Amino acid sequence: MRAVVTERVASDGTSVLVNVGNFSDTFEFTVASGTTTDATFTVTAGGLVGVLNNPTAVLEVNTGAGWVRLGDASTGGLLDLLGAARGFTVTAEDLQAGDYRLTYGGGGTLGVGTEINLTAELADASLTEFELVSAAPVTGNIFAASEAGPADERGTGNAAVLQVLNEEGIYVAVPPGTQVLGEYGTLVINPDGSFTYTPSGAVESIGLVDSFQYQLIGPDGASQATLNIRLDSPDADIVWDQTDLGADGTTVVATDDTDQASVLLAPRVETTTVNNAIDYTSIAALGGSDTYRFNVAADTTADLTLNVTSNSLLNLLGQTNFTLQQYINNRWVALTGSSGGSLIELAGLTGGGIQAQAEDLGPGSYRVVVSTGGLGVLTDIDGVAIIERTYLNEFVPSDVVLATGNVVDGGPGADILGSDSTVLRIERQDGVFVAPGYGGVSITGDYGVLTIQANGDYVYRPFLNAASLGQTDRFTYELIHPNSDRVEAELAIDIVAPTSGGSLAAISTGDEAPAEATVATLHADVVALDGLVGADVSIDDGLHAQMGRHGNGAAELTAEPMTADATLLDLHGDTVVLAGLDDPQGAFDSEDLGSIGSYDDAVSLPAFEDVLEIEPQDDLPSDPSSPAGAATVDHPDQSAEAIEIEAAVLIDNPLHDPWTNAVSHV
């Protein structure tokens, strides 16, 4: 299968007004949400004269905060540039959703009025819509033996008559070429048990099972069994139930995630500014002084800053005294530090002023006495007081601790993508999901903002709000498999209280829920090829999946034990797996930036390692994922695997129910 691609073409042009020199122009385009784009830009110089050499190209994307450079053709990387005498071509692949601009230019002997033309060819690949490239039919025989069980017993001389359950639910005789319409394809079956199954070719059928019931009628009654045909694909890592062979496969699993963020709290700080806190005139030798008083309440500390300036150019430093006092036991007491000096620190200000500071003042009443002497005849002194009070029993948000992680591969409960092309989408509003583009997508929750990338990486920033503590912000995302299966899961962010140290390291617990037991083994091997009697399943012109044969081309059957009564019927159902309902070579060669997960070798079919031997023919490469420029080989469009279902044996004893239903085993 491959993504549905929509082609579009745009153009741009400019005219060169000088004979010699460089030109530069820009072309803007958009990659829509839910797509990735491969872009090819062709720049040519028109007219009869002029050579366009020294080509340049720069690709940028708009992040909302401005243009960010993604690639420069002169340094390689995202952009590839191929030059020619009269133009050049620039290519860029797997561009995620967003707004882009290409700045291109060049120079050389361009004539006056030379027209420069740009043609943009944009191939938009859908992240959610896929089409089936091919679905080849598969052949087999329902009577043949397999590792899952012995061959069906058809009585003396194989005289039992085959009947198949038709669409009306009636068992009917099977003349040559009998057609039975299944849910996802058509079965053509013959009296000798040989059959051909042709899938309908719907991509939605990948991972499903088409089942057909049949019975053998003998002298002693009938015995029934089921042919199960599994529809698989090398582009999908499907998990099949090993006990219920008629159960549909599991393609994609999403597991809920939990994480933690925090809002850090700190004591409330309040700043008060008092103009003219100090205001006096110093008179010649007499000098002058003033006092500023302030209080610090209980459960509070304060930092005092006093900026003192004059109306002259004289330097107050060295001419001005500051005395800090506290009212203790009904009298003012000068405060000193541990060394006996003043608690006030002085620093010079531009223009000759002084800054006085006192920090960590506890509860009480304070005053600062400022005095000067030896200045000019008349000097006006002015002081601005700034008090920063810290309330030790009142806490407010000061900072946040982010939550970071990945919703897809977050721990033991990691999601199961089931395909390299599975896409992640996040719910933006009720029932509306969007696929992250370049830079991801941001979703505003109840208590913060989540930014999530296409690969599942996320960053959650809680609001700077104490009311968020103890709350949980919830976000829903979905995974969409190429066969249209979709599952939802939830990312829950708990906003927890900070630790006793006043800060909290980001804690990411990852996926807490255990993986579902039915998908614990991602590459469970299916054993026993039964229904494919005497025929190779054609993979393509270069590869064949070879089933067991004798040298004469006859079906290779498992030896069976002798039975007491040769007339007894022993009927065994079959399960056929169709692997390769697509052609991965039809898909994009480069990794889809809008998709998530790893891509296994398309020719290696993990679920069939024990039963399919893939052999390249001479002169053809066996690896369809070979790099560009290498010879390419189409790989499996359709392969098949049969799993035997053991049916009850019909016997003569009337005490036994001759119509016992089949029981399955692997």
Q: What is the pLDDT of residues 486-536, one digit of tens each?
A: 999 999 999 998 764 443 333 333 333 333 332 222 232 332 233 333 323
pLDDT at residue 430, rounded to an integer:
87
Please check the confidence at residue 17 and state whether its pLDDT lies above 60: no
Q: What is the mean pLDDT of residues 278-292?
A: 87
Q: What is the mean pLDDT of residues 257-263?
A: 94
Q: Is the pTM of this model over 0.75?
A: no
pLDDT at residue 153, rounded to an integer:
82
List, for residues 41-81, the tens digit of each pLDDT value.
988 876 545 556 678 889 999 988 889 988 876 655 566 65
With beta carbons less than 8 A apart as the criterion, state whether 347 and 367 touch: no
pLDDT at residue 159, rounded to an integer:
80
pLDDT at residue 560, rounded to an integer:
39
Question: DSSP string covering 50-107, please?
Answer: ---EEEEEEEEEE-SSSEEEEEETTTBTT-EEEEETTEEEEEEEEEPSEEEEEEEEEE
pLDDT level of residue 108 (50, 70, 90 thresholds): low
Contacts of 562 (CB under 8 A, 6+ apart): none
List, for residues 361-382, the tens digit of each pLDDT value.
999 999 999 998 766 668 888 9
SS3 state of residue 542: coil
Query: Of the ranges 238-247, 253-262, 397-406, which one carries the lowest mean pLDDT score?
Result: 238-247
Residue type, 665: H
Q: What is the mean pLDDT of residues 468-473?
A: 94
Query: Of the ranges 295-304, 452-461, 505-514, which one carries the lowest mean pLDDT score?
Result: 505-514
pLDDT level of residue 537 (50, 70, 90 thresholds): very low
pLDDT level of residue 150 (50, 70, 90 thresholds): confident
pLDDT level of residue 320 (50, 70, 90 thresholds): confident
Q: What is the mean pLDDT of residues 301-313?
A: 89
Q: What is the Cα gyration radius of the chain?
A: 40
pLDDT at residue 510, rounded to an integer:
38
Q: What is the mean pLDDT of residues 563-577?
A: 44
Higher per-residue pLDDT: 502 or 601:
502
CA of 278: how far to CAs of 101, 192, 346, 384, 428, in Å? 61, 113, 16, 7, 58
Q: What is the mean pLDDT of residues 286-299?
A: 93
d(CA 662, CA 619): 47
Q: What is the mean pLDDT of residues 89-113?
A: 81
- Average of per-residue pLDDT values in the chain: 74
Percentage of the chain beyond pLDDT 90 is: 38
Higher per-residue pLDDT: 1 or 140:
140
pLDDT at residue 2, rounded to an integer:
85
In order of start, what are the domains of the chain with their CATH numbers? 2-131 (2.60.120.380), 133-249+516-666 (no CATH), 257-264+397-512 (2.60.40), 266-395 (2.60.120.680)
Higher per-residue pLDDT: 239 or 538:
239
List, for residues 407-448, the tens digit of each pLDDT value.
998 666 788 898 888 999 999 988 899 999 998 999 999 999
pLDDT at residue 164, rounded to an integer:
94
List, for residues 21-30, the tens digit of each pLDDT value.
667 889 999 9
Please check the confidence at residue 144 and state whether its pLDDT lies above 70: yes
pLDDT at residue 78, rounded to an integer:
61
Percentage of the chain beyond pLDDT 70 is: 66
CA of 569: how far to CAs of 62, 189, 555, 654, 664, in Å? 72, 20, 20, 15, 18
505: buried, middle or exposed (CB in 10 Å: 19+, 13-18, 0-12)?
A: exposed
DSSP letter at 146 equals B
Q: What is the mean pLDDT of residues 283-311?
A: 91
Please check the confidence at residue 390 and state whether its pLDDT lies above 50: yes
pLDDT level of residue 212 (50, 70, 90 thresholds): very high
Please check the confidence at residue 258 and state whether its pLDDT lies above 90: yes
List, for residues 581-599, the tens digit of each pLDDT value.
544 343 333 333 333 333 3
**What does residue 342 show for φ and ψ, rounded to 5 degrees?**
-70, 150
